[in-house]
Amino acid sequence: MTRARILGTGSYLPEKVVTNHDIEKLVDTSDNWIRERTGIYERRVVAESQVCGDLALVAAQRALESAGVSGSDIDLVIVATCTPDNIFPSTASVLQSRLDIQPGAPSFDVSAACSGFIYALGIADKFVRSGAAKRPLVVGSETMTRILDWDDRGTCVLFGDGAGAVVLEASENEDGIISSHLHSDGSFESLLYVPWGPGRGFSALDDKSGYIRMRGNEVFKVAVNTLTRIVEESLESAQVDKSEIDWLIPHQANIRIIQATAKKLELPMDRVVVTVGEHGNTSAASVPIALDTAVKDGRIKRGELLLMEAFGGGFTWGSALVRY
């Protein structure tokens, strides 16, 4: 059976670091309050001159180098983002050109908020299984701080910027993406959203309408319950026992959500990749950044079984079971 296997990983974080103490100067909050409720103590923020595609470019270049291939070897580009450079062309199309990827290779963005990378990974795997692609590039890249209301202490403490990428290749071996599961429920729109888009017209845009709105307590409850179900679905579908999971690579939104998912899997936290403390919630970039971090520091090794999962605005959620 043909599967998409991970050939290489890469990530990029902007240079600017914003700590909880920096945020204390902006809103009524404290370092202790943020740490206790989220696990976050700092996050990265893009430079004024940077856009989402710039972050994606560096992460992709590092993934290509890790994989030992060049842009000319890539035949599909998918960028997961909810903060694209432009309405069009897609960030993926521009990235295709900047990486000298073969003209004609399909390139497109996926918008599924924090679940975007899992969605993009599942889509790329389907391309590979169908024979439509042999070596995809999948990127999660976000400039979330561009859509933050820095006067809203409920959201400005949570998010950061960054990008992560993987190069996939078709494989006939048992390694690779075993299964992926993608879901959405738009009835929860009012709990986590940005209340403006270009389809509404610029007359509907005001000083605050382009920023994230979130009802945190409600989101937390739904996220924990939903991620529990997606974990069960992933394991049952693949007929894998939870004891076989070597690493959980969760979306990095909140340490309490991560801990609840690990508890469901009966995984000790030292088998969970956690980067939320130093990166915050980088939305679609969080899972690939966490993956690359653990690959580069030697924790994740070839042959190990990984469970990636994410939950985001929409609501969207998904998982990918991967033999690395």
Per-residue pLDDT tens over the stretch 18-71? 999 999 999 999 999 999 999 999 999 999 999 999 999 999 999 999 999 999
Q: Give the model's pLDDT for residue 186.
A: 97
Considering only CA atoms, give the Rg of the chain.
18
Average pLDDT over residues 126-149: 98
How many CA atoms within 13 Å lie on the side-chain side of 245? Answer: 33
Q: Judge if 189 and 289 occupy the same domain.
A: yes
> How far, in Å, CA of 247 to CA of 318, rounded?
16
Q: Across the chain, what does the average pLDDT equal?
A: 96
Q: Judge if 17 and 127 occupy the same domain.
A: yes
One of 156, 181, 251, 254 is an active-site residue; which one? 251
pLDDT one-digit tens code per residue, 207-251: 888 999 999 999 999 999 999 899 999 999 999 999 999 999 999
Q: Judge if 276 and 218 occupy the same domain.
A: yes
204, pLDDT greater than 80: no
Q: Judge if 8 and 136 occupy the same domain.
A: yes
Q: Give the model's pLDDT for residue 207.
A: 81
User: Does the active-site annotation cover 251?
Assistant: yes
User: Does the active-site annotation cover 32?
Assistant: no
Q: Judge if 9 and 134 occupy the same domain.
A: yes
Q: Judge if 13 and 155 occupy the same domain.
A: yes
* Confidence (pTM): 0.97
- 299 token code pair: 């924790």
DSSP letter at 159 equals: B
One of 20, 114, 156, 254 is an active-site residue; which one? 114
Using an 8 Å Cβ cutoff, are 25 and 153 in contact?
A: no
CA 13, 316, 116, 113 torsion-angle sign? negative
Which of 173, 201, 225 lies at the terminal end of a domain, its last residue?
173
Largest CA distance in the chain: 56
Question: What CATH number corresponds to the domain at position 131?
Answer: 3.40.47.10
For 108-207, where are the alpha helices, taking DSSP H only? 116-130
CA 127, 128, 129, 131 torsion-angle sign? positive
Average pLDDT over residues 312-322: 97
Using an 8 Å Cβ cutoff, are 85 and 57 in contact?
A: no
Which of 173, 193, 224 lies at the terminal end of a domain, its last residue?
173
Q: Judge if 122 and 238 occupy the same domain.
A: no
One of 20, 52, 156, 281 is an active-site residue; which one? 281
Confidence of residue 265 (pLDDT cuts 50, 70, 90): confident
Confidence of residue 1 (pLDDT cuts 50, 70, 90): confident
User: Does the active-site annotation cover 52?
Assistant: no
**Which is nearest to 143 in space by CA: 315, 38, 314, 284?**
284
297 class by beta-carbon count within 10 Å (0-12 exposed, 13-18 middle, 19+ buried): exposed
> CA of 275: how far to CAs of 24, 46, 140, 196, in Å?
22, 18, 15, 30
170, pLDDT greater than 80: yes
> How far, in Å, CA of 194 to CA of 284, rounded?
16
